């Protein structure tokens, strides 16, 4: 059982919904990013999504793209991202970390080396958005063999024919993308999300967490009420981009987590 599995089991036992926060590793710099990540659990974050900076993202909107570029300009790399996770684990051995990004940096490092290093620093799961189920032998299956969850995205265009393939080797949780398009492009609507979550849950026992288009405590609560939890990324990254002090960023995260937890 991974930390992700344990966390969702604990939340289910408590009758609580999950709150997941996305932070781009190294944004605006390594030390500030680490300080924010270290503060997320006390701000009510159940699972941390740690963004892996990449030059050519395909699912990220302008806010996340800009965060990735700031991180890259500051010298952030895959190795530095792993270093950040290791530093976090020095004081927190319980909060799950999901590394979210693209396959190119992993491929460049070598899958076997990457998985060994990720496991060693305390990464619990992977979201690699440009590897479809048809490529499961590339990373998904080796990751699961190494003890890491491989989390798949389902979207509004994932129809009943496609869904079983998407779910086949997914573990940890299912990430439902609430909108068609990139991150931060539109607002999620619970009335649209609810039936889709129910459809996915009828095909899997995994928790279904909803992300994209959630930017307020009210929206976090509304989406969590029709799912197993909510993910917020762009709204948090926008606070960092605005130069807000770490304490203010974490206070904002707390309002979002309170929203989800009150669902």
What pLDDT, in 10s, does the model give residues 129-178? 999 999 999 999 999 999 999 999 999 999 999 999 999 999 999 999 98
Burial class (CB in 10 A: 0-12, 13-18, 19+), 128: buried
What confidence score (pLDDT) does residue 59 get? 77
Give the total number of structural domains in the chain: 1
* Residue 8's CATH number: 3.20.20.70
What confidence score (pLDDT) does residue 123 get? 98
pTM for the whole thing?
A: 0.96
Helix H or strand E encompassing 108: helix 103-109
Alpha-carbon distance 105 to 53, whole Å? 9
- Which residue of the set 5, 27, 46, 60 is catalytic? 60
Q: Do residues 167 and 208 touch, judged by C-beta distance below 8 A?
A: no
- Which of 68, 48, 28 minimizes the C-alpha distance to 182? 68
Estimate the crossing angle of helix 234-241 against helix 246-261, to 10 degrees: 160
Enter the tokens of residue 258: 């309170």
b (16+ CB within 10 A) / e for 231-244: bbbbbbbbbbbeee
- C-alpha of 146 from chain center: 20
Q: Do residues 234 and 64 touch, judged by C-beta distance below 8 A?
A: yes
Stretches where the chain sits below pLDDT 50 are none
What confidence score (pLDDT) does residue 191 get? 83
- Which of 251, 182, 257, 184 minimizes the C-alpha distance to 224? 257
Enter the tokens of residue 143: 């990751």
What confidence score (pLDDT) does residue 60 get? 86
- Which of 44, 73, 90 minimizes the C-alpha distance to 236? 44
What confidence score (pLDDT) does residue 193 get? 92
Among this protein's residues, is 60 annotated catalytic?
yes
- Which residue of the set 5, 49, 136, 228 is catalytic? 49
Domain interval for residue 139: 3-261
Among this protein's residues, is 49 annotated catalytic?
yes
């Amino acid at each position: 059982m991974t930390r992700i599995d344990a966390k969702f089991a604990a939340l289910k036992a408590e009758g609580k919904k999950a709150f997941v926060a996305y932070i781009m590793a190294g944004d605006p710099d390594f030390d500030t990013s680490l300080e924010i990540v270290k503060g997320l659990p006390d701000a009510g974050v159940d699972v941390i999504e740690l963004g892996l900076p990449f030059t050519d993202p395909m699912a990220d909107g302008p806010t996340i793209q800009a965060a990735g570029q700031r991180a890259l300009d500051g010298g952030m790399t895959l190795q530095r991202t792993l270093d950040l996770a290791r530093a976090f684990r020095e004081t927190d051995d319980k909060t799950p970390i999901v590394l979210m990004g693209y396959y190119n940096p992993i491929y460049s490092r070598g899958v076997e080396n990457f998985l060994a290093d990720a496991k060693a620093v305390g990464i619990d799961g992977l979201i690699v958005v440009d590897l479809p189920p048809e490529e499961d032998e590339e990373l998904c299956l080796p990751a699961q063999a190494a003890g890491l969850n491989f989390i798949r995205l389902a979207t509004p265009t994932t129809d009943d024919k496609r869904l079983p393939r998407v779910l086949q080797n997914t573990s940890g949780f299912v990430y439902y993308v609430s909108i068609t398009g990139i991150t931060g492009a539109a607002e999620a609507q619970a009335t649209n999300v609810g039936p889709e979550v129910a459809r996915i849950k009828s095909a899997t026992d995994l928790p279904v967490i909803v992300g994209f288009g959630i930017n307020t405590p009210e929206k976090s609560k509304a989406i969590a009420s029709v799912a197993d939890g909510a993910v917020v990324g762009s709204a948090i990254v926008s606070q960092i981009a605005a130069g807000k002090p770490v304490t203010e960023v974490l206070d904002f995260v707390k309002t979002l987590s309170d929203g989800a937890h009150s669902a």
